[in-house]
Amino acid sequence: MRAVIQRVERASVSVDGVVVGAIKEPGLLVYLGVTHGDAAAEVDWIARKTWGLRILREERSASDVGAPLLVVSQFTLYGDARKGRRPTWEAAAPGPVSEPAYDAVCDALVALGARVERGVFGADMRVESVNDGPFTVVLERDPTAPAR
C-alpha cells in the first residue's frame, strides 16, 4: 500500500462538476494506492501512520490537532514508467481488491477519530488543493515485507 500525503490549507475533489469531498481548513490530502496482496495489516499500518504522522505545523500530527483528511484513491501510484513511454499498471490491484482496501483505510481512520472526506472510487475526479509548505511525504508498506 502506498500513500502520498500532502499538507494542505484546503482541498476538494469533484466528480462531474460536483464537489463530493472537501476540507476547508488545514489538514492532509491523502492519495492512496493499493497493490496485490495488501491486507488488514497494511490497512491498519497506513491508517495509524497517516493519523499520527507529525507533518503539520509545529511538528504536530492530524491526531494532535484534529485536522481533517481528504482521502482519494489513486491506482496510478503503482504505475511503472521505467521502460518505454507508456506506464504499466501491473502493480496496481484491480478494483475488486483495491476498493474494499480503500474503504477500509478510510474506515480505520474514522475509527481512530479522524474526520475523513473521500473521493469516489474509480471516478474521473478533479482534485484541487492549496499546498502548505509545500510539504509532501510518501508512505509505503510492502505486503511481502516483514512487519515492523
Q: Rounded to the nearest 10 degrees, what angle do helices 95-112 and 40-52 cross at?
A: 40
- At 85, the amino acid letter reads R
- At 127, the amino acid letter reads V
Find the catalytic residue in 6, 35, 50, 75.
75
Neighbours of 119 (CB within 10 A): 25
Per-residue confidence band for 130, with pLDDT thresholds at 50, 70 and 90: very high
The question of whether 135 is a catalytic residue gets the answer: no
Would you state the pLDDT for residue 133? 93
The question of whether 121 is a catalytic residue gets the answer: no
Q: In the beta sheet, which residues pair with residue 13?
A: 21, 127
Find the catalytic residue in 6, 35, 50, 74.
74
Q: What are the tens digits of pLDDT across the range 41-68?
A: 999 999 999 999 999 999 999 999 999 9
Predicted TM-score (pTM) of this structure: 0.94
Per-residue confidence band for 143, with pLDDT thresholds at 50, 70 and 90: confident
Q: What are the tens digits of pLDDT across the range 108-124?
A: 999 999 999 999 999 99
